[in-house]
Structure 1
Amino acid sequence: MLIHLRAAGTSLVLDARGPRPPVVVHWGRCLGALGDDDLAALADAAVPAVPPSSIDEPLRFSLLPGPEQGWSGRPAITGWWPADGGRPGGFHLLGVVRDGPRAVRLDLAEAGGRLLLSTEMELSDQGVLRARQHLSHVGAGTFHLDSLSVVLPVPDLAKEVLDFSGLWAYERRPQRAPLRHGVWSRETRHGRPGHDDPYLMMAGSPGFDFRAGQVWAMHLAWSGDKRLWAERQPLGYGLIGAGELLAPGEVTLGPGGTYRTPWAVAAWSDAGIDGLSARLHPWIRSRRAARPPRPMVLNTWEACYFDHDADALDRLVDAAAEAGVERFVLDDGWFAGRTDDRRALGDWYADPGRWPDGLHPLIARVHERGMDFGLWVEPEMVSPDSALARAHPEWVLGGDTGPTWRHQRVLDLGDPGAYAYVLERLGALLTAYPIAFLKWDHNRDLLREAASHRQTTAVYRLLAALRAAFPRLEIESCASGGARIDLGILDLVDRVWTSDTNDPLERQRIQRWTGVLLPPEFLGGHLGAATAHITGRTSSLGLRFATALFGSAGIEWDLTAATPGERAEVAAWVALYKRLRPLLHGGTVVRSGADDAAHLVHGVVGADSAVYALVALRAADSALPEPIRFAGLDPDVRYTVRPLRIGPEPRVVQDAAPAWLRAGAVTLPGRVLAEVGLPAPLLTPEQAALFTVDRAGRDTESRRSP
C-alpha cells in the first residue's frame, strides 16, 4: 500500500507495499493531491542507483533500518535472547491499518517469529507528525531490549544540526554544528531530561534561523533517560532519531510481554524555527482541555525562603492582593521539621511549631483577599534526615549508597509501598486544604542505573491518579528549575518552571529557546527583586517587567520590601498582563535576529493586534542598530505601531529619538513593517522597550498601558 498523509502544507509519503519494512519516500513540503498512479510513480522513481562496493540492490531507508537491509548506521532496534544469543532482524510487513484520514498503523513481524512490531504514525491538522513503536514478544524465552527508536529521514539539504545543552539556571543553550558523516548523538542519564537536555533536535538548510530556511525537528515526549541523534551516512542518507535510553536489563520481555516507546514528535518548516513553533504551539493547545486563563502568581520562595513567619506571610498576602495577584503559592519550608534543605523531605505534614492550626489560617487569609492557594511539594525525594527515611529505609532508591544531592535521596516510587504512601499523603493534603495548585519539584538526578524507566512510569501514574481524583487541581513541573520540560510531562501538568533563575537577562534567552517548542502560557516566568538571587546582577524594573510579561507570569519578590512607587508600578504591570493575556497566550510567537544578536526582537501576533519587545542584551555593533522588524503581520493590512509604556522609561543614549517615536505612532502596511521595519531607540545594554501593533482604525484604548 502507498500512503500519503498531508495537512497544513506538510506531506508524508510511505511506501508500504512490502514485504520489507515501509520506506519514507518523502517528509516535508506538501506535494498536493496525488492519485494512486502518481504515488506509485513517485515511489518507483525514488528507488536509488546501486553504487559500487555496496549491496547488490538499491538501499532504501526504512522506518526500521537495520543491517539485514544493508544499513550500516545506527539501527532502530537492538536486543537479544540470552538463551541462544539471537538478535532481532529481518522484519517483514504484515499489514497496514488506517486509523483515520491522517493516521496509520504498520504491523511487522520479526523473521524468527518471536517479535511483533507496530509503528503508529499520525499527522495532525497543524502538520505535526507523531510516531511510536509497540513491541510484543509472542515467542518463547526472554528478550532483552537494548533500544527501540523512531527514525525519520532528512534530505541532503539538511546540512546543519542544532540542539541544546545547559546547566542549572542556564538551560536551553543552543549549539549548532555541520551535519557531517557519522552520528551526532545526545544522551541523557539523569533519570529526568536534565539541564543539558537536547530538547529539540533540528536539522536544516545552511544558516537556517528563526525566520528563514527549511528545518526538520524531533522531540521525544519522555521525562526519563533519552537519546536523540542526527546522522548522515556515506551511504547517502541522513536522518534524525529519538528513543528512550535503556540501561542493560532495564526492559526484558517474557512471552506475552510488551514495550511501547514514548511518542516522538516531529515537525517540518520552510519558514525557519518560527515555522516549527507555528505548528507545534497550536497543536499543543489543541490537545488541552479548556482551562481558566493562566493566573498571575506570587511565589514565596525568593521572598522568604525557609523563614515562614505567619505575620510576615500575612503582610505578603496583603501586598500580593493589592498588586492584583490571583494565586498565592507557599513554597518550600511549610512541612514538619523543614528549616533548611538538609532535612524532612517526605514528611508531608504541616509543621506543628510554625503552623499549630495547620495551613488553614494562611489559606483563609489568601481566600479573603481574593486569591487561590498553591503549595510546593517534592514527592519523588526523601531526606536521609526524615521520619520517612528512618521508618522505611527500604523505600530509598539504592539505599544509602552513592552521593546525596542537595542533601537528599530518591524515593523509589516503583515500590508499591512508597507509591501508596505518597499518593495517600498528597491526597490527604488536597482533601484537608483547598489547594488549587501544586508546584511539583524534583531537585536531583537519580544516579542509579536501570531505574529511570521504572521511576518515570511510576511518576506518570502518580500524576494521572491525582488528576483523576482532583480534576480541578493544577500542577507545575519544576525540576531544579528547567530540568524536566518535555511533552511527556506536559500531558499531566499545566505549567513548567522554565528555570530557577529570575535574572531577566538570562531569562531572555532561556525563554526564547524553550518557547520554540512550548507555547508561552506554559512557561512560568517571575518578576524578581532588582538584584537576582542566583546571578547577583542588578536589573532595571523595566527589563524585569518586559521579560516576565511574555509567559505564565508571576512574582517572586518580597513586595513588602518594595517602595510604594515600585508597588504601584507592579500593580500597573499586573493589570497590563491581565489585559494582554488573551493575546499573549493565544497568539502566534514570532522572533527575529540571529542567535548571537546584540538586540533581540520577539512578539506575539493575534488577528488584529500584536505586542513586541525590543531587548538590548549588550552594546550594539554599530551606532545605529538594525531596524525593528515586526514579523508575522498580515502583509496587506495597515497597522499602527505605538510604544507601550509600562514601568520606568528604558535608558537610552541618544540626542534625539527616532522621528516616529517622537510623533508617538506610525501607520504602515504589515509588509513594510516586516521587511523595512522602524528605526530603533538607542537602548543601553540590559534595557527593553515594548510596542503595541494594532490594525489601523481599530479602537486601541483598551490596549494602552494603565
Structure 2
Amino acid sequence: MQHWRLDCSRQTLVLAATGARLPQVVYWGAPLPVTEDLATIHAAHTIDVTGGMLDENPDLSICPEASRTFPGQPGMIIRSQNGTPLLPKFCYESDTVSETGLTLIYRDEAHGLRYTATFQIEPITHIITTQAILDADAPIHLHWLSAPVFPASQQSAEMIDFSGRWCGEFQLNRTAWSPGIRMRENRTGRTGHEHFPALIVPEHGATNTIGAAHAYHYGWSGGHKMIAEELPDGRRQIQFGHAPRVEADASTRFTSAPLYAVYSSDGLNGCAVSYQRHLRDHIVTFPKADRPRPVHYNCWEAVYFDHKLDVLRDIADRAADLGAERFVLDDGWFGQRDDDTTSLSDWAVDPRKYPDGLGPLIDHVHSKDMSFGIWFEPEMINPDSDLHRAHPDWALGGEDQTLGRQQKALNMALPEVRDFIYGRMAAILSEYPIDYIKWDHNRVLPAPDAAQTRGSYALIDRLRADFPMVEIESCASGGGRIDFGILARTQRVWLSDSNDALERLRMQHDAALFLPMVVTGSHVGPRHCHTSGRTLDISLRAWVAAQRHMGFEMDPRELTPHETSVLKEVTQWWKSNRHWLERADILRLDSADPAVVAEQQLAEDNTRFVVFAGKAATSSQILPRPLRLTRLDPNAQYEINLLNKTTAPTLSRGAPVLKEQSITVSGNYLMHQGLTLPWHFPDTMWVIEGRKL
C-alpha cells in the first residue's frame, strides 16, 4: 500500500494505491488531522461487492485503465503508429514529494510508456493544480488524455456546468446526476462561448454562501472535453482533457493542460474566491503590477469602420473629460478595411484614413493624459487580402470551407506564418507608443487542432517577451476565448460583445465564479444597445460597468448633460475606490427575490465592502425582501450607507431608514436578517457601501 496527502488550511487531498497500481483519490474535503492514519482512510474507502459484480471493484484511479477492467470512460485512449489500439497497464516507478507538491511516475514496460501526474497545492488560494504527461519510447497516436481524474461527491444531487452564445456567455446549467455520462465537448478550436471549460459539483444544500462544493477549471484555449460519469456501482468520476483527436501527428510526448481544482466548505463563493485570487495573483502577470487599472475607452460602437481623425480627436477629448485614462482604436485602421470583408492580415496603417500615420491621433490622445491601445486580429485572414493572394496555402482548412465573419484562420502551427504576423505587429508596436492590444478572434476554426493553439500561444509569448510593457486583452467575438491558459499570456478579457447592462449584470455575476474584477472588462455602452435593441438608463449602465474593470464604449457625443453628470460621478467613485476593489473578493449573494441579482465585493482586509443589488426583472411580491450579506465579522459594527439613495423613484413612498441616513448594525444582523432596501423599478440598481467600525 502507498499513500500520499496534500494539505492546506481549507482541504486535504489523499491519494492511495494498492500495490504498484495507479493511485486513486480516496479523500478530498475538509482538513484531516495530521495524525490521521492514511492506511485506515484507504481501507475505509473500499466499497462492498455483491451478486452480478466482479469480486473486486476496479480502481477509479487518476487515469482509469481499460486493461484493469474499469467499466467506465478510461483516462487514456491511444494507438500505435500503425493504428493498433494500445491498452496500457501502468506500474509504480517513482515519486517526488514536497510540502506543497507531488509528482508520481508510472511505467508500462510492455508498451514503452511512462505516465506522470503532478499535483501542486497553493496554500493561500487553495487551488490544486494538476496535470498529466504521457511519454512514449516510440511515436504513438493520441485520441484522449485526461488530466488526473477526480472522483465526484456522492453527496451531490446535481452538477453545474456552463454554456453560452455570442452576447450570452456564462450561462449556468444545473443537471441532475444519473447513471451514465454527462459529456460537454467543444470542437470549435477555441475556448468557446458555448462550453466554458469548468464544472462545479455542489453537495446537498449548498448555495452561494453555505455548504460544500468541488470545482474544476481546465486551463486550455483550444477546445476541451468534460466527462462527468456515474458508474453502475454509484461511484462518479470527473475527467477534463483536450478535445479528442486534436493531435494530428504521432509523437513521443503528450501533455494535458493544467486542471485547477478546489474544495469549498462555504458554498460556491469559496470556490469563486479561490479562482479569483489564484488567477489574479498566480496566473496573470501585469507589466506594472502596482499601476491601478485605467478607465478604458474603446471607439468601436462610436465609429465602427468609419475612421476620421477629427472625429476621433473629438471623441478622445470627450472620453478624457468623462474620466477615461486609456483610448483604444478598434477595427478599421489598417489595409483597405472599410468593412469586415477585407484586409485581415494586411497589418499596415491605411493611408487614406491616416495619411500621416497614427502619430497625430496618438499624440492627441497622449495630450489628454490617456495611453493608447489598438485592435489586432492576428490569427485571421480575409480571402480579399494581399497576404491571402500571395499565400493562400497559409490559411487553415480547405478552399471550400465555410467562412466566418468573411474570414479564414491562419495556420498558426506554421513557423513562417507566425514569423510574418510577428513582423507586421512588431513593426507597428516599434513605430508607435502603444501600451495595449485588443487581440480578437472572430471565428471558430474549420477543424480543431491543438497545434493551432500552441502556435497562437507561441506568437503571444514572443510578442510579450519583446514588448513586455504592452498589455493584451483576449477578445473572441466577446467571450469566446476566456480561460486560465490564455490569461497566463494576457491581462484582460472582453466578457461579451453585449454592452447591454441588463445582460452584463447576469453574465458578470456568473463569470465571477472564476474571474476577478481586475481582468474583467465592462463598458458603459450606448443608450440604445446595438446588440439587444434595448434602451437603458445611464445609472444602470454606469453602475454595472463599475462592478468590474470600468470603461466606456459608445459615442460620447450622444450624452445629455444629465447622462454626462451621472457618468462622471460613477467614474469618479470607481477611481476613488479601485485601490481596494482591485483586490476585493466578489461574493455572489443568495437573493430571496429571484428578480434581484446581487453581489458583495469585500475588501482584502475585511474593513469595507460594497453591495451591488441589480433588479433584473419585475418582482413577484410588492416590496423588496431583505438581502442577506456574507463573510462579515458577526460581532463587529458596520456603518451602512445607500450610496445612490437620491435615485429612489416617486413610487417609493415609504420611509425606509436607508433613504434618509446611514445606519450602524452588527455583522450578525446583516448576515441573518439582511438589508431592507427601498422599492425600485426593474432595470435599476442599488449600491450600498459598508465600513467596519
Class of the TM-score when normalised by the shorter of the 2 chains: over 0.9
**Aligned residue number for residue 374 of structure 2:** 375
Per-residue deviation, residues 449-468 of structure 1 (Å, max 9, x unmatched): xx420110001111111111
CA distance change for structure 1 residues 248 and 627 in 2, over 3 Å: closer, same or farther?
closer
Superposed counterparts of 1:212-611, under 5 Å: 212-247=210-245, 250-253=248-251, 257-287=252-282, 288-289=284-285, 290-448=289-447, 451-593=448-590, 597-606=594-603, 607-611=606-610
Q: Is the 8 A contact 1:160 1:203 kept in 2?
A: yes
Q: Hey, what's the Cα distance between the residues in 2 that align with 1:632 and 1:300?
A: 39
Higher mean Cα deviation, 662-671 or 459-468? Answer: 662-671
- The equivalent position to 2:197 in structure 1, one of 199, 213, 222, is 199
Alignment correspondent of 1:23: 24
**Structure 2: how far apart are the matches of 1:690 and 1:83?**
64
Letter in 2 for 1:504: A
Counterparts in 2 of 1:5 and 1:325: CA distance versus 1, 3 Å: same
Distance in 1 (alpha carbons) for counterparts of 2:430 and 2:409: 26
**What per-residue deviation string (whole Å, max 9, x for no partner) do you get for residues 109-168 of structure 1?**
125241101001111112211111111111x4x411110102101221022111111111
**Given that residues 650 and 689 in structure 1 are in contact (C-alpha distance below 8 angstroms), is that contact kept between their aligned partners in structure 2?**
no
Q: Cα distance 1:251–1:638, how it changes in 2: closer, same or farther (>3 A)?
A: farther
SS at match of 1:505: helix
Supply the distance in 1 between the matched residues of 2:298 and 2:246 (Cα, whole angstroms).
42
Instruction: Decide whether the 8 Å contact of 1:47 with 1:60 is kept in 2.
Output: no
TM-score normalised according to structure 1 size:
0.94
Deviation of residue 251 (structure 1)?
Answer: 4.4
- CA gap 1:651/1:534 in 2 versus in 1, 3 angstroms: farther
* 8 Å contact from structure 1 (residues 11, 28) kept in 2: yes
Q: How many residues align?
A: 684
CA distance in 2, matches of 1:595, 1:277: 21
User: In structure 1, what is the Cα distance between the partners aligned to 2:664 and 2:591?
Assistant: 27
- Partner Cα separation in structure 2 for residue 398 and residue 328 of structure 1: 36
- Percent of counterpart pairs with the same letter? 34
CA distance in 1, matches of 2:33, 2:361: 61
Letter in 2 for 1:146: H
State the alpha-carbon separation in 2 of the partners of residues 161 and 66 from structure 1.
Answer: 25
User: Please, which moves more after superposition, 218-227 or 205-214?
Assistant: 205-214
Q: Deviation of residue 291 (structure 1)?
A: 4.8
**Partner Cα distance (2:528, 2:380) in 1:** 30
- CA RMSD between the two structures: 1.7
Stretches of 4+ moved more than 4 A in 1? none
- Note the 1:620-631 alignment, pairs <5 A: 620-631=619-630
- Change in Cα spacing, 1:627 to 1:652, as seen in structure 2 (3 Å) is farther
Structure-2 separation of matches of 1:199 and 1:113:
32
- 2:86 corresponding residue in structure 1: 87
**2 CA distance for matches of 1:249 and 1:615?**
45
Q: Structure 1: where are the runs of 5+ without partners?
A: 697-706
- Give the AA of the match of 2:434: I
Does the Cα contact within 8 Å between 1:22 and 1:93 map onto a contact in 2? Answer: no
The answer to whether the 8 A contact 2:640-2:689 is kept is: yes
Query: Does structure 2 conserve the Cα–Cα contact (< 8 Å) formed by 1:603 and 1:613?
Result: yes
Q: Which runs of 5+ in 2 are unaligned?
A: none
* 1:652–1:632 Cα change, 3 Å: farther
Q: Which amino acid aligns with 2:684?
A: Q
* 1:110 match: 108
Contact 2:592 2:626 in 1 (8 A): no
Query: 1:182 maps to which residue?
Result: 180
> 2 CA distance for matches of 1:96 and 1:497?
41
Deviations 1:197-229 (A, max 9, x none): 243211122353211222111111000120012
Q: For residues 210 and 54 of structure 1, what CA distance do their matches in structure 2 show?
A: 39
Q: Distance in 2 between matches of 1:512 and 1:356?
A: 44
Which amino acid in the other structure matches residue 571 of structure 1? K
Relative to structure 1, the CA distance from residue 682 to residue 176 in structure 2 (aligned partners, 3 Å threshold; closer, same or farther) is same
Could you tell me whether the CA contact under 8 Å between 2:162 and 2:197 is conserved in 1? yes
8 Å contact from structure 1 (residues 197, 483) kept in 2: no
Quick one: which amino acid aligns to residue 388 of structure 1? Answer: L
Alignment partners' CA distance in 1, 2:665 and 2:249: 61
TM-superposition CA deviations, 1:323-361 (whole Å, max 9, x none): 121100000110120001111111101101110111000
